[in-house]
Amino acid sequence: MDANFLSEGKKMGIKDKIAVWIRGNFFIPDARSLWINPSAKYLLKYLNLNPVDALISSGPPHSCHLIAEQIKKSTGTPWIVDYRDPWTQIDYFDDLRLTGFAKRKHLSLEKRILNACDLIITVGKTMAKDLAKFTKQRTEVITNGFDEADRLTDTIQLDTAFTITYIGIMNDSRNPEVLWEAMNRLKMEDHPLINDIRINLVGKPESVIAESVRKYKLDELVHFIGYVPHAEAIKYQNTAQILLLMINKTTNNKSILTGKIFEYLASGRPVLCIGPKDGDASDIIMKANAGIVLDYDDVEGLVDYLKDCYKKYLSGNLHANTSGIKIFSRYELTGKLAKLLNEITQKKEIIK
């Protein structure tokens, strides 16, 4: 079973629960554990004929780190551990229904890996802070990013309506209750933006979202677009007046960094993020000057923000300040990685 099933917050039947228990307790660290030894054996043979200056293992799957550990042990090649998502700190870790033995095994393996490598890379500052509990090894943050080629340089015709667009999966943990409450309040005020606003949900939301929309009597304002081809989804994204980003309302959510945020940055549209104000997503949006981050219950703040955006929309001045997004381009981020690779390979030469 793919552990992403858990991160999506889907309800599980008895078969799903059994599958999760087996996955968590018998396949450590993950479902790819059976190919750790065969892969390490193959790669050692390959690298004996084709040596490299450095190794990078990227996880999840965290089995990749255990493969790299064997290669490092046999060859001494400088090794970077790259964390795209947390291991034992991930938000659904406690949902794996681990036995005491399995949990200790996960923790032991993670600590061993982090102390055996030469350098750690993570995608966010929260994950870097969490990893400091396991190791004093040097840790650097290199976020995901966007391709400069995807940035909009030509003038594009924005939606004529005052649109707030969300793209992706929307489940119970990503239900924007604060938005529904803010819209309800604006309806009660009879604010004029109610006549112009359209909320687009592009993707397949769970039934709880439709229930919330009905609860607040927002059926006329919220449009369920459903799944569309990628090119069409990008069009919805690039023509929106405002883009909505939801960070899961779960434990350990400060480290959540969906790849969607970087697609939003590339669009150049203002981003309305609902999530922890001290989280990694908030850090990126603030550094990029790309929008605003509001807590899950900040109805007052959201009402004020929407009123302000509506004034700018009416005057044709609703734009995002994109001056800070360059640092999140893949070109800039790759340069940072190249610098780190040079450092650890030069360090090896000095030791020699």
Summarize pLDDT for 99-110 with one digit per residue, the tens. Answer: 999 999 999 999
Residue 151 has pLDDT above 90, yes or no: no
Rounded to 5°, the CA angle 42-44-47 comes to: 110
Question: What pLDDT does residue 99 have?
Answer: 92
| Neighbouring residues of 281: CB distance < 8 A, sequence distance ≥ 6 | 245, 247, 256, 257, 258, 261, 273, 275, 293
Same domain, 50 and 196: no
Question: What pLDDT does residue 35 have?
Answer: 93
| Mean pLDDT lowest among 45-54, 145-154, 282-291 | 145-154
Read off the pLDDT band of 156 (50, 70, 90): confident
Same domain, 340 and 310: no
Question: What pLDDT does residue 12 have?
Answer: 67
Read off the pLDDT band of 25 (50, 70, 90): confident
Using DSSP's 3-state secondary structure scheme, residue 56 falls into: strand
Same domain, 153 and 133: no
pLDDT in tens, 261-271: 999 998 989 99
Same domain, 132 and 165: no
Same domain, 159 and 77: no
d(CA 37, CA 41): 6
**CATH number assigned to the domain comprising residue 106:** 3.40.50.2000
Per the structure, the count of domains in the chain is 2
Question: What pLDDT does residue 323 have?
Answer: 78
Select from 134, 165, 176 the least CA-distant residue to 240.
165
- Number of neighbouring beta carbons within 10 Å of residue 15: 9
Question: What pLDDT does residue 5 have?
Answer: 47
Same domain, 47 and 167: no
Same domain, 99 and 154: no
Same domain, 226 and 249: yes
Read off the pLDDT band of 340 (50, 70, 90): very high
Same domain, 180 and 54: no
Same domain, 173 and 277: yes
Residue 322: both structure tokens together? 């994109």
d(CA 146, CA 144): 7
Same domain, 164 and 303: yes
* pLDDT, greater one: 2 or 206: 206
Select from 142, 141, 176, 325 the least CA-distant residue to 247.
176
Owning domain of residue 141 = 4-145+331-351
Q: pTM here?
A: 0.84
Read off the pLDDT band of 13 (50, 70, 90): confident
Percent of the chain with pLDDT over 70: 93
Question: What pLDDT does residue 121 have?
Answer: 98
Q: What is the pLDDT averaged over residues 317-343?
A: 91
The single-letter code of the amino acid at 236 is Y
| Neighbouring residues of 178: CB distance < 8 A, sequence distance ≥ 6 | 274, 294, 295, 296, 297, 298, 299, 302
345, 53 Cβ separation under 8 angstroms:
yes
Residue 90 has pLDDT above 70, yes or no: yes
Residue 350 has pLDDT above 60, yes or no: no
Same domain, 125 and 162: no
